[in-house]
Structure 1
Amino acid sequence: MSRLPALAFLCALSAGCADDQGKGDLHAAVSRCFATYPFRKGTAYDRFSCIAGAHLHYGPDAVGPQYDLISQIDMASLRIGLDIDTGTLSMPEAEKELHWVTTKARNEAIQRSTSQPVTTAPRMDDKRPAS
């Protein structure tokens, strides 16, 4: 699965992976998730759960102004991870789903930067591509 673009996008949304006044604790925590739960069937849900836990632990101040989008990506990733681990989604289908989620979040972040601030979090589950 092409994980590097999605990881790079998550870092970009989280202010370049700079966190808690630049100490790097959030980035280190997420890196430990990837080291502990490598990319293979049976580890996807645990990996995404670990990443979501790191984002939750360090919170909006560490993650940055797009915290709500990162949280939505985390929730979608947990579902996708569970579907990978149970065999409901193949790796290509999961990659397509993750790409859709991150593209939608990226577009929302771009729209926010060029318009007025959004007062409510957008829903990531509308118009999902057919698997």
Structure 2
Amino acid sequence: MKRLLAVAFLCAFSGACTDDHGKGALHAAVSRCFARYPFKKGTAYVRFSCIAGAHFRYGPDTIGTNYDLLSQVDMASLRIGLDVDTGTLSVPEAETALHWVTTKAQNQAIQRSNDGHPVKMQTRG
């Protein structure tokens, strides 16, 4: 359920779930990543690498004004994927970490829209 919410959030956050100017193609590319690579030990990093590659390939013109935040979420996801694959994090721990990262980005995107000032996402230490 958490994964489904994260996918829905990323689609809404990135604006990638509506089909205009390549956004439908981006959504399809990201969906293929989810279908091909299950979120489990041994495939976590390649899954997030696939998603980050799709975001990079379609770029800020397709994703929109919060591309920088989505890129930071991608980088955090890659790190989390490595931690799952090496056994440093369990899948439930990784889901919690991903939830924290996406919630932080969502809050910063909301703050941006409310005050009109760009906000840099800070990562947990």
Q: TM (normalized to structure 2)?
A: 0.91
CA distance in 2, matches of 1:70, 1:77: 10
Q: Do 1:6 and 1:102's aligned partners in 2 also have CA atoms closer than 8 Å?
A: yes
Q: Do 1:52 and 1:74's aligned partners in 2 also have CA atoms closer than 8 Å?
A: yes
Unpaired runs of at least 5, structure 2: none
CA distance in 1, matches of 2:79, 2:22: 31
Alpha-carbon shift at residue 35 of structure 1 (Å) = 1.6
**Aligned residue number for residue 122 of structure 1:** 120
CA distance in 2, matches of 1:53, 1:78: 11
Moved more, 11-20 or 1-10: 11-20
Q: Do 2:23 and 2:63's aligned partners in 1 also have CA atoms closer than 8 Å?
A: no
Alpha-carbon shift at residue 124 of structure 1 (Å) = 2.9
Q: Is 1:9 aligned to 2:5, yes or no?
A: no
**Aligned residue number for residue 72 of structure 2:** 72
Task: Kindly provide the amino acid, as one letter, of the partner of residue 77 in structure 1.
Answer: S
**Number of residue equivalences:** 125
Alpha-carbon shift at residue 40 of structure 1 (Å) = 2.2
**Aligned residue number for residue 100 of structure 2:** 100
Q: CA RMSD in A?
A: 1.8
Per-residue CA deviation, residues 10-65 of structure 1 (Å, 9 max, x unaligned), is: 10111152355256110010011112112222111000000000000000011111
Q: Do 1:19 and 1:61's aligned partners in 2 also have CA atoms closer than 8 Å?
A: no
Q: Is 1:53 aligned to 2:53, yes or no?
A: yes
Q: Do 1:83 and 1:89's aligned partners in 2 also have CA atoms closer than 8 Å?
A: yes
Sort the Cα spacing of 1:22 and 1:49 in 2 relative to 1 into closer, same or farther, 3 A: closer
CA distance in 1, matches of 2:20, 2:53: 16
CA distance in 2, matches of 1:77, 1:123: 14
Q: TM (normalized to structure 1)?
A: 0.87
Identity of aligned residues (%): 70
Task: Kindly provide the amino acid, as one letter, of the partner of residue 36 in structure 2.
Answer: T
Task: Kindly provide the amino acid, as one letter, of the partner of residue 80 in structure 1.
Answer: I
Per-residue CA deviation, residues 43-88 of structure 1 (Å, 9 max, x unaligned), is: 1100000000000000001111110110000000000000001100
Unpaired runs of at least 5, structure 1: none
